[in-house]
Amino acid sequence: MTSYFSELKGQAVVVTGGSKGIGKDIALTFAKLGANVAISGRDQEALDDTLEQLHIHNPKCIAVSGDLSDIEQVRKLIDTAAEEFGGIDVLVNNAGVNIAKPAMDVTEEDWDTVLDLNLKSAFFASQAAAKYMLAQSSGRIINIASQMAFVGYIKRAAYCSSKGGMVQMTKALAVEWAKSGIRVNAVAPTFVETEFTEKQFADQAFKDDVNSRILLDGLSQPRDTSGAVLYLASDLSNFVTGETIKVDGGWTAI
């Protein structure tokens, strides 16, 4: 019987924003399969807590603190993981932020904060990881985009722009690096029930609006996104590149 995902054991995986929410679930999913996982984040307490959980499954996992809006810290993360693990096999660009404001209230600082972390850092993390992937003629880059790359929503002008850019960046890098054995794909989740969205869902009108747009019952859970990431990181997706998998419960089907 085929042992699915067994090829991920011992692979070097970097998950940006891996200490909380979706990123934490993704990191734990890889660690449970025996992958060597490096996570990043700005909250040292959360990093330490998540690393402790990762070590239950694989003591080789590491955590690197830093603000990925600073490109030098992005490069430090990738280089540290590559030095520790002997290369980079999978990069998951998950770190992201949203500043929910009406478009007329968005400041230049707001715009730069969202675009710098959501899009700019993802590009330069991909560039840094590709240095190692090109040398080994293999690698997987998986960008955590959003359904907001495909639909609009109120108070998310900068966020939608950043995630739309990420989907196009995914295609561009996939085209450029395909012949070098690097597959670049993205996952586009809907609103996911995490500690980040808990406050948003406290607004019943907002929660009702979200639920009215999702065809399947209930809110998305972190494992829904992790499952799509796992597929794209595995041999099951060997003939897939430049693609974005929507994990949106049918929101964008209408």
Catalytic residue numbers read 159
- Alpha-carbon dihedral 11, 183, 156, 74, rounded to 10 degrees: 50
Phi, psi angle pair for 22, to nearest 5°: -60, -45
Please give the C-alpha separations between residue 54 and each of 29, 72, 219, in angstroms, as whole numbers: 9, 26, 26
221: phi > 0 → left, psi -120 to 50 → alpha, else beta; which? beta
For the record, the structure tokens of 47 come out as: 């990093």
H helices of 33-156, in order, are 44-57, 71-85, 108-115, 121-136
Is residue 82 within 8 A of residue 12, CB to CB? The reply is yes
Residues recorded for the chain = 254
